[in-house]
Chains A and B, each alone.
Chain A
Amino acid sequence: MALTDLVIKALLETVLMVFGSTAFGVLMGVPLGVVLYNASKKGLQPRRVLYQPLSFLVNGARSIPYIILTVLLIPFTRGLIGTSIGTGSAMIPLSIAAGLLVARCVEDALQSVPKGLSEVGISLGASPLQIIHKILLPESMSSIIAGITTVMINIVGYSAMAGTVGGGGLGDLAIRYGYQRYDIVLVVLIVVILIALVQGIQMVGQWGSNYYRR
């Protein structure tokens, strides 16, 4: 296979992994973050018994080095999609890592909304769900988008390790062809592509975050 074909294939794999996992991560992380916030001391319905273990789990899972998380999750991944090898399999631990990161940023973003705003909701007789939906999430949208952008860029870095489970992607290509075969041109090319990808994500994220900032 020509080198350009390899690079294009690897780029597509990376894009699929990064965007796919972030999407799953948001689907999992936003509700989890809302639950974390709501059960926390500053939340609308503080529940210590729920918050403590949940928070411990999120922090614990985040402190496992990503490559170890991948290995730890192999049985889970195999159980879920039948194999632990390939791009799809690599996305399972990536999605979970993204979800945990997103959950924390959503919690932080919700906590940074001034207390007076939820009190407006309370004094208007709104339910906790209405307050979260109509007041807290919209008011923290700007920081949530900024947070998701950072998570996505982290995932670009994590996806370089997808090669260990045969997930492919640009990082894997750079290690196998660039490092092990010492193809310096290829390494430089891949680095340039990764920089462009990260820049692109950052730019779109910034734009989105600014759009909601007033």
Chain B
Amino acid sequence: MPRLNSHLVVDRISKSFLKANQEKVLGDISFEVEPSKILGIIGKSGAGKSTLLRCLNGLEKPDSGRILFQDQDLTKLSEKKFRALRQKIGVVFQSFNLLSGRTVFDNVALPLEFLKCPVAERQKKVDQILGLVGLFSKRNAYPSELSGGQRQRVAIARALVVDTALLLCDEFTSALDPHTTLEILELLKNINKTLGIAIVFVTHDINVVKELAQDVCVLDQGRIVEKGSVESVFTNPKHSVTKILLSELLKNDLPEFLQHQLHSDGLENDDVVLKLIFGTQTSTKPLIANLIQKWNIPVNIVSGSLDHIGKATFGHLVISLKHEEGTTENIVNYLRAHHVAVERAGYIRWR
């Protein structure tokens, strides 16, 4: 993985809006993003997440404090130098913000046009990045012809097409369904891994932090109440806000009794526990019944919630079945081929 200079230091920034006797929107915020790391900033709505992100990309100016990116203080640079540095910082917005009059290709080419990049080079770069986000075949489509997930892919491609070292994402999954969210998270993880681009995102969804982030900052009323690696914060939350947010995570995850018995390596006679997530593209075939017939194997449905909108199935299902590495692999592949996202939750021995 290439190591880009994406070092970001946020040093005691504060911000308040010019309204009488209003409390600070952001107070004394400090954190650091090391090169090629993924930081998630989580908080309830009104916690100041978006304002914080807008400070990082220069859409708002903090009242005090420093924001160091590649060892330069963003709050002190001249307009011109700031513009140049800003081109290293890509931004993905909640509402995609694509230009409706431009095709996918031309939307992604926009940053290169601003840089007056020659046409031949522009074409090469755009096609390359469209391949990366899996939208090459849609390059001549207009945004109105795309699904939400595809639009967000275009927005990600647009943010990456210049020499981006840091990607800022503002509530980028709020407008997406759970299945599409997972796909976009996979894409971002992949981008982080292969290109070494650091990612800072804000969200109110603890699941997104769990899936994507390595480090996390918990924001409440404009202040960071807890920060650290996802592992340490999730396993040992200290602040009440963090605990409340984490309880969200359990609600749509596994049933509690199961969590205690779950272990991470599959032994003989164990059952494997799979979490299936159904989305817009999931087929209407009776997948579980087919699976039982095909492998001649009993399936235990542990928990789930499924809903139908039109012809599509939404929701998740937790099943367990007898574990045997080859078979499990085949079954996972079978389900994925039918557009079901599959997560191996762990292994369990039924008593």
Residues of A within 8 A of B (CB): 114, 116-117, 119-127, 130, 134-135, 138-139, 141, 212, 214
B111: chain A residues within 8 A (beta carbon) = 124
User: Which residues on B sit within 8 Å (CB–CB) of A123?
Assistant: 57-59, 86, 89, 91
Q: For chains A and B in complex, what number of residue pairs have CB atoms within 8 angstroms?
A: 60
Closest to A138 in B: B101
Q: Tell me if A124 and B86 are in contact (CB < 8 A).
A: yes
**Contact (Cβ within 8 A) B87 A117:** no
Docked CA distance A188–B27 (Å): 74
Q: Given A124-B111, A126-B114, is A116 in contact with B101 using a C-beta cutoff of 8 Å?
A: no
Chain B residues positioned under 8 Å from A130 (CB to CB) = 114
- Is B93 close to A, CB under 8 A? yes
Separation in Å of the B109 CB from the closest CB of chain A?
10
Q: Which residue of A lies closest to B83 (CB)?
A: A125
Which of chain B's residues have a CB closer than 8 A to the CB of A116? Answer: 93, 95, 97
Closest to A212 in B: B101
B85 nearest in chain A by CB position: A125
Chosen A-B contacts, 8 in total, with CB atoms closer than 8 Å, are A116-B93, A117-B97, A119-B93, A124-B114, A124-B162, A134-B110, A214-B100, A214-B143
Q: Which residue from chain A places its CB closest to the CB of B59 in the assembled complex?
A: A119
Q: Would you list the 5 A-B pairs with minimal beta carbon distance, nearest first? A: A125-B83, A125-B86, A116-B97, A123-B91, A126-B114
Q: Does B144 contact A (CB under 8 A)?
A: yes
Q: How far is the CA of A212 from the CA of B158 in the complex (A)?
A: 22
In angstroms, Cα B99 to Cα A139, docked, is 7
8 new A-B contacts at CB < 8 Å, known A119-B59, A123-B86, A124-B110: A114-B95, A117-B99, A121-B114, A124-B86, A125-B87, A127-B83, A134-B114, A141-B101
Question: Whole-angstrom distance between the alpha carbons of A47 and B83 in the complex?
Answer: 21
For B76-105 the 0/1 string (1 means CB < 8 A from A) is 000000111111010101010101111000
Distance A14 CA – B58 CA, assembled complex (angstroms): 52
Complex-state Cα separation, A212 to B58, whole angstroms: 31
CA distance A214 to B144 in the complex (A): 7
Output the least CB separation between B349 and chain A (Å): 52
B59 touches A122 (CB 8 A): yes
The CA-CA distance from A114 to B96 in the complex, in Å, is: 12
Q: Per a CB cutoff under 8 Å, which of B83, B84, B113 touches A134?
A: B113
Contact between chains at B114 and A122 (CB < 8 Å): no
Q: Is the CB of B99 within 8 A of A125?
A: no
Bound together, the chains give a CA A79 to CA B93 distance in angstroms of: 54
Shortest CB distance B8–A (Å): 15
Which residue numbers of B lie inside 8 Å of A, CB to CB?
A: 57-59, 82-87, 89, 91, 93, 95, 97, 99-102, 110-111, 113-114, 142-144, 158, 162
Task: Return A20 CB to nearest CB of chain B, in Å.
Answer: 29
Chain B residues with Cβ under 8 A from A120's Cβ? 91, 93, 97, 110, 158
- Give the interface centre of A121, A138, A214 by most chain B CB atoms within 10 Å: A214
Q: Which of B102, B114, B158 makes the CB contact (< 8 A) with A125?
A: B114
B86 proximity list for chain A (CB < 8 A): 123-125
Q: Flag if A214 contacts B101 (CB, 8 Å).
A: yes
What chain A residues lie within 8 Å of B114 (beta carbons)? Answer: 121, 124-126, 130, 134
Residues in B with CB closer than 8 Å to A126 are 83, 114
How far is A130 from B58 in the complex, measured between Cα atoms in Å? Answer: 18
Contact B97 A119 (CB under 8 A): yes
Q: Enumerate chain A residues within 8 angstroms of B158, measured Cβ to Cβ.
A: 120
Q: Which residues of B are found within 8 Å of A212, using beta-carbon distances? A: 101
How far, in angstroms, from A141 to B101 measured CA to CA in the complex?
A: 9
Determine how close the nearest CB of chain B comes to the CB of A114; give it in whole angstroms.
7
Chain A residue contacts of B142, Cβ below 8 A: 214
Cβ of B110: which chain A residues have Cβ within 8 Å of it? 120, 124, 134-135
In the complex, chain A residues whose CB is within 8 Å of the CB of B84: 125
A127 to B92 CA separation, bound complex (whole angstroms)? 19
Task: Tell me the minimal C-beta distance from B151 to chain A in angstroms.
Answer: 13
A138 pairs with B99, CB closer than 8 A: yes
Contacts of A135 in B (CB 8 A): 99, 110
Q: How far is the CB of A90 from chain B (nearest CB, A)?
A: 37
**Chain B nearest CB, measured from A67 CB (Å):** 40
- The distance from the CB of A33 to the nearest CB of chain B, in whole angstroms, is 18
A122 near B58 with CB under 8 A, answer: yes
A125, A135, A138, A212, most chain B CB atoms within 10 A: A125
Alpha-carbon distance between A121 and B97 when the two chains are bound, in angstroms:
10
With A125-B84, A125-B87 known to touch, is A114 a contact of B97 (CB < 8 Å)?
yes
**Residue of chain A at shortest CB distance from B82:** A125
Is A139 in contact with B100, judged by CB distance below 8 angstroms?
A: yes
A127 CB contacts on chain B under 8 angstroms: 83
A9: min CB distance to chain B, Å? 42
Of chain A, the residue at the smallest CB distance from B114 is A126
A128 to chain B, nearest CB (A): 10
Contacts of A119 in B (CB 8 A): 59, 93, 97
Name the residue of chain A whose CB is nearest to the CB of B162.
Answer: A124
Q: CA of A29 to CA of B143 in the docked complex: distance in angstroms?
A: 30
Q: Tell me the nearest residue of chain B to A142, going by C-beta.
A: B101
- Tell me the complex Cα distance, A116–B58, Å: 14
Q: Which residues of B contact A124 (CB under 8 A)?
A: 86-87, 91, 110-111, 114, 162
